[in-house]
Structure 1
């Protein structure tokens, strides 16, 4: 895990007139004295981290003359897919249905003619939770060989995102504090206590996986390689300081 560049955002010195208002942290906390001399600053922290878990979305699509036929064929194929993944070491609790649908398909070769029912299509998308990222390509290949006819995507995540979020927040507070010190010095005022503190932590910014085909040697079959992208998490903090004339 490595921090990236953090850009502080500074708020202007608030008006010292009676009309100035501040935002309380919560409804249970009284508002600041509108006549108080305050300095409001913001800081943003951003942390990049390597993902340590992923979800593969494997879809099984089937067609049939009736909804029943399409659904039954789909059920057979999804069972084969689940059995193959289970044999590969994926436990059942790490597999769940992400999407399921059965819908009619119509043919309309001539826009002026009435659409005719062509049949039905069933779709069952199985989401597979993977904690060993080195096995992603292997499991994708196994899924495609065992009944899946589409890969809807690979999503990455952080199993310990709280620790990453805490580091982003710590850096955001540090940047906001430094900004307050610089402003106070430039304005020839002295920082007092922090009157308010609020924060917003953004969820990890997820990037799509990159997939590629690689050959181990000329005699081997091609296998899919999934290259994880870094996850980005941001936190923003707002600090309100009391200020006093410099001594």
Structure 2
């Protein structure tokens, strides 16, 4: 009896492996969605930097200038959560020719400006209060998640439209999606290096000048989709 069961099992397995596996007709296409938006906020990264022969004095000067910068930011009513110290450093620098050590103190602050109408006033104020290095300015959108969702939908629509174009020539239709791969790269806004007037120019210019041209930023999504062919 056991031999008969084993024999029947082997026959079933042989028949199963002998059956031809038919490939599923399918098409793979890619799609891209782009949403262009005018940025409504900016992130400024700025640094106070001083050099000198005595570490304590250099740090003191740096701290005083940064204190003035922070008071300016508070005076402009920026939310406490919108600015933070990014890094602080006090480094010795040895000159081998002069056989002398000097000290370089830096403190970097990151500021989010949610109202771009304050941008020019803030930038000029930062420089006048001791900021001597604007590292970069990045323009962004406060509705990034919403625009990313729109870009993904546009990418899927383009993929479906592409597939329909291809198979329409063959008199076929596309069916359900088998797989969807998100090929989008993480969105990193491109930095815009802002121009700002020197101290002398700011003191001599009584008229307020606009220095900002933010333009547009592009939020992109990319997908590849496998559709069944009917």
Same fold by TM-score greater than 0.5: yes
Structure 1 position 66, deviation (Å): 3.3
Q: Would you say 1:197 and 2:183 are equivalent positions?
A: no
Given candidates 134, 138, 142, the residue that maps to 1:159 is 142
Equivalent residue for 2:3? none
Task: Identify which of structures 1 and 2 has the higher relative contact order when contacts are C-alpha pairs closer than 8 Å and 6+ apart.
Answer: 2
Greater share of helix: 2
Equivalent residue for 1:134? 117
Scaled by the length of structure 2, the TM-score of the pair is 0.79
Q: Which runs of 4+ in 1 moved over 6 A?
A: none
Distance change >3 Å, CA 71–CA 49, structure 1 → 2 = same
Equivalent residue for 2:133? 150
- Find the residue that maps to 1:211 and give its secondary structure: coil
Task: Kindly report the root-mean-square deviation, in angstroms, between the aligned alpha carbons of the 2 structures.
Answer: 2.5
1:75-114 mapped onto 2 (5 Å cutoff):
75-108=63-96
- Mapped contact 2:140–2:189 kept (Cα < 8 A): no
Equivalent residue for 2:31? 43
Q: Would you say 1:236 and 2:222 are equivalent positions?
A: yes
Given candidates 46, 56, 59, the residue that maps to 2:47 is 59
Distance change >3 Å, CA 219–CA 189, structure 1 → 2 = closer
Q: Structure 1: how far apart are the matches of 2:46 and 2:175? A: 57
Structure 1 position 142, deviation (Å): 0.6
Given candidates 220, 227, 231, the residue that maps to 2:206 is 220
Q: Which of the two has higher C-alpha Rg?
A: 2
Equivalent residue for 1:7? none
- Mapped contact 1:210–1:228 kept (Cα < 8 A): no
Q: Structure 1: how far apart are the matches of 2:141 and 2:220? A: 14
- Find the residue that maps to 1:35 and give its secondary structure: coil
Greater share of strand: 1
Structure 1 position 43, deviation (Å): 0.4
- Mapped contact 1:140–1:224 kept (Cα < 8 A): no
Q: Deviations over 1:158-205 (max 9, x none)?
A: 111111111111111111111101111223433222111222333154
Moved more, 189-198 or 144-153: 189-198
- Mapped contact 2:124–2:196 kept (Cα < 8 A): no
Q: Structure 2: how far apart are the matches of 1:100 and 1:74? A: 10
Report the count of equivalent residues.
Answer: 204
Moved more, 233-242 or 94-103: 94-103
Structure 1 position 209, deviation (Å): 4.7
Scaled by the length of structure 1, the TM-score of the pair is 0.74
